[in-house]
Structure 1
Amino acid sequence: MNKIQGSVIILLNSNNEILLVLRDDKNSIPFPNTWNLLGGFIENGELPEECICREIREEIEIELTDINFFKSTIFMIENITFSGSK
C-alpha cells in the first residue's frame, strides 16, 4: 500500500467558528460533495506547515503568515483511489 501524507488546518475566526469547504460533486475525487477542512497532499521535501500555506494559497487565495503546528496523527483510509496521487 502506498503511503500518502497530507496536512489539514483548522481555521478559526474571532467568534471561534471553523472554516469548512464544500468539496466538488465529482465522483473522480474522494468524498465528493462533503464538507471538509482545508488541506492537501504534502509534496516531496515539504513540511506540513508549508503544505498548508501552499494549499490555502491555491484553494482560497489567502497568504498565511502565522500558523502553529498542533499535532501529527497517522491513519489509514482503505478502498480509496486518488487520481494523480504521488
Structure 2
Amino acid sequence: MKLLNERFDFSGTKIALLCDNDIVVTLRDDKPDIAFPNTWELVGGGREEGETVFECTAREVYEELGLTIRAEQIVWCRVYSGLINPHKQSVFLVGHISKEDVEQIVFGDEGQGYKLIPVDDFLKDETIIPQLRQRMADYVREVER
C-alpha cells in the first residue's frame, strides 16, 4: 500500500484495529477543552513533523495500546477531511490484530479505557464519533463487494 510510506501534509491518522469481527475502541477523556469529550473512538492522533502515514499510525498504536504493528497488518487506507480541522487531510486505516495482540494491550495515559465491540455494533453506536462510523462503513461496503 503505497500511501503508508508517503510524506504529505496530513493532520493525523485513525485506525480501526480488527480482531476477528471486533474493533478496538478507546474512550476519550472527559475534558471540556478537547474535541469529542467522553466519546468512543479509534486509536490514532496527530502527525508529528515529517512522519509518514505508517510512522504516525504505528507511533499512536504504541502510545495508546503498547502494541507494535507492522505495515503488512494494515489492509485498507483512505484519505478523508480531518475530524477536527476539515480543511486538512487525515488518513483512516483498517488493520488486523490477533487475539494474542489483544491480550498484550497495555492501555496508555490518553483516554479513560478501551474495549472491543463487534463491527455491526460500532456502525450503529451513537456514542462513537460519527465520522469514524461513516469511514468504517465505507470500508465494510468496499470489502463486501
* TM-score (norm. length: structure 2): 0.46
* Change over 3 Å in CA distance of 1:75–1:52 after alignment to 2: closer
1:5 to 11, 16, 40: 11
1:40-59 counterparts in 2 under 5 A?
A: 40-59=45-64
**In structure 1, how many angstroms separate the alpha carbons of the residues matched to 2:18 and 2:24?**
7
Runs of at least 4 residues off by over 2 Å: 66-69, 74-78
Deviations 1:49-70 (A, max 9, x none): 1111000111111111232451
Root-mean-square deviation (Å)? 2.0
Q: Which has the higher contact order (CA 8 A, sep 6+)?
A: 2
1:6-85 counterparts in 2 under 5 A?
A: 6-14=12-20, 16-65=21-70, 66-75=73-82, 77=84
Aligned residues: 75
**In structure 1, how many angstroms separate the alpha carbons of the residues matched to 2:61 and 2:83?**
24
Please state which structure has a larger fraction of its residues in helix. 2
Please state which structure has a larger fraction of its residues in strand. 2
The one-letter code sitting in structure 1 at the alignment partner of 2:26 is V
**In structure 1, how many angstroms separate the alpha carbons of the residues matched to 2:83 and 2:34?**
17
Contact 2:11–2:82 (Cα < 8 Å) also in 1: no
Unaligned runs of 5+ in 1: 79-86
Contact 2:15–2:57 (Cα < 8 Å) also in 1: yes
Identity of aligned residues (%): 41
* TM-score (norm. length: structure 1): 0.74
**In structure 2, how many angstroms separate the alpha carbons of the residues matched to 1:53 and 1:19?**
15
Unaligned runs of 5+ in 2: 1-8, 86-145
